[in-house]
Structure 1
Amino acid sequence: GINILKLFILMIILAQAGVSKATPSFARQTGMSCTACHYSFPELTPFGRQFKLNAYTMTMMNTIESKQDSDKVTRLKLLSYLPLSAMVQTSFSSNAKAVEGTQNNSIAFPQQISMFYAGQITPHIGSFIQMTYDGQVFGMDNAEIRYANRTSLGSTSLLYGVTLNNNPTVQDVWNTTPAWGFPTASSDAANSPAKSTLIENLGMQVAGLGAYALIDNLLYGELTLYRSSPQGAANPADSTSVMTVRGVAPYWRVALQHAWGNNYAELGTFGIASNNFVNGISGPIDKFTDVGFDLQYEHTLNTGTLVLHSSLIRETEKRNSTINNFHFNSFKIDGNLYLKNGLGATMGYFNSSGTKDADVVESSTNKPNSNGFIYQIEYLPWYNTKFSIQYITYSMFDGSSTNYNGAGRNASDNNTLYLLAWFNF
């Protein structure tokens, strides 16, 4: 077998060239190190959350400006360079038992290559737009354009804005929701449980416009309305489309945050309600309601930061296409230690359960129940470069610990070792 500790030590030895400043477009725009916004990318610091809420517009770089003399209003404020960045991920995956019909011990080079247009557009508008090649296709990935401004209502401060994005929760500033939750990268060559929530699967299939506000740096609220906008399929939706949203799907987010001493905590709720045509743009409709609850806690140490994330999503699916309704719960929790020397360690637990349904899970039990642990060790020799080792273990997979597929495959056969090299520049 592969000795994980020896591999990790080897990566550290090979990478001991020192720690330097990252160069992606946000770092170039602000003149700040990546560590100003990230404990370990993409995990946001308090400053990183503020930078995102303020529409990615803070800049210390030279700009091209034009003002109208009559009203002294700035009519143009362009960055003196295009805010472009790139990302490369390459990985190795080894499953405890090869996935049926595939070769084990696979290398993805690349797993992903992404280009970003990310930075200030105007003094109050900024963007995070990602285009990705995943080894098979090239297309739109996570994308957001947002407007932000500040005002006060008496003694109350108000940060408010508008978001246009293509993935519910990609606009979120906490690392507890689906778009940015742990693990932020995983193997494409491993089996995954058959069922996950709707809100985890709408990325690049919808477009949403919404408004948000942060009151006194304490209470955050957002309402965004999503409509189908599929990538790689008919647009507008037609008779060939699948699971098209009828009308709009409202997404909500409410969160309370508070910092005291070396501590920070966030407690919130989020969710989406969507009526989807089963096929085409007419006919039977399935009604999905996803309600989520989340918690994030941070504690600053002399040597680094401890971060805890937890979330619970409860999904109810009411079907007009069949006589069955479906209920599903997804719980996740992870603890992270990020050290100032670039080392990091994470342990996570996940547990999903729900109604027995052969239409949802084709297994020996027809149940969506899965649970297990994820362990990860990472090292950032430079703030824009990450090497990580991840190991995922399953105690239950698609409703059973043994012979879950009726063909002799056990849950533990899907245990996966995943090595990742992640470069941002």
Structure 2
Amino acid sequence: SATMDTGKLLYITLGDKGALIVQGSHSTLVPTHPITEIDPTGAGDTFCGAVLANILQNKHPVMAAHEAVVISAKMISQIGPKALYSKKPISQPQIDARIRLNNTQIKKISEKLSSLPEVSPFPFVSKVLPPINHPKALDYFFAATVHQFSFWSIHNQKYYQPLIAPLGGVMLKGSDYLWKCFSLALERDVEFCSPNRQASLNLDELKTIMQDDNGNQPMPAIELHLEESHRYGRDMLALNLDPESIIKQSKFSSNPLSAFINILDQIGGYKEDPLRKKSGLLALILNQRPENFLPFQKTDHIDPVIDYHNMRLCLRAGLIDILDEKLNKKLIDRIILSKDEEWAIRYAAYCARQQIVNLSGKPEGAIDWFFFNTRKTCPEMTPPLCESCLIDSVCDHKKEMFQPVIRTTYY
């Protein structure tokens, strides 16, 4: 398998098998789209040109390839470069045929959210997070956000239960438990969140850090968390970066947000996800914290932050419909999905959430916080509390639906 130096990209076209995108030591295969080939001449040049154009528009390297594959497919479906001369914009990657965006529901829920003053950004200040103006807050948020994934366990190839455990005398769930673990580690060792410490962590250290008040280690897939610490720390060291230098570089740019996201596209723990969930979350945190580490311009926008809570609400509220009976049943039964099935649902949820931001007039920080907090009213293990939900009057109430079950470090 191909590898590149940290911070460098390599695109390898594979004909009808698609394209391989290599980001340092990480690689992603982007498949082709079924199409009748008429004239393959220029397919590679079309792909390369489209990739470069998309990267210049601040697309993630993998999403740049997804869109380039669509353009290349249209190119070879006609004789010569005729398809490229079209005045109509070339379409983005299509929603999987097994799934449909429900535009009526998207519009209804967008209008509802637009009318709710409660739907507003969160300042990321709480008892599980470092206090305002903590001297190591940047190190903390960069390192801890890498670990915002997979807070649930599997039994018999099905979703079993979410992470809920006592820490600091309080029962904490999922991301709150993770934030608190890192906060306590930072109290004991002010350099714990530095790239150097993350790069050199060992499994025993991490297990100790993740222990609950009873001495148990409840974090699922902890080996993946160790790998993410190493990817993050080692890429930062290889690029001679630290959180403060990244913020400085970003602020000196004409577009701080784009510069920031583009740097994260080179760093392990962030660069791997084509939809940039953790990158977007980190950008929102650094912008919305009272310290305003990362100022945004008025025209800036964050990609939708799509995690399993977001996807569960998209499915239950009817923002996306599953047309395939087998896939629908797997979701209801909470059975582990394939990567292809998970991507189909997640990309559809991403597109639905993009529309909601555009139609509601609310910023991504507000929409993301609302969707994330539906974990309280529309949880995993108990019946939804519909009467307490702000969008109950426009929800489709597909209460049996569940998020894609797949072990990933993306969310």
Please give the TM-score of this superposition, normalised by the length of structure 2: 0.26
Q: Name whichever structure is richer in helix by fraction.
A: 2
Q: Which one has more relative contact order, counting CA pairs under 8 Å at least 6 apart?
A: 2
Q: Name whichever structure is richer in strand by fraction.
A: 1
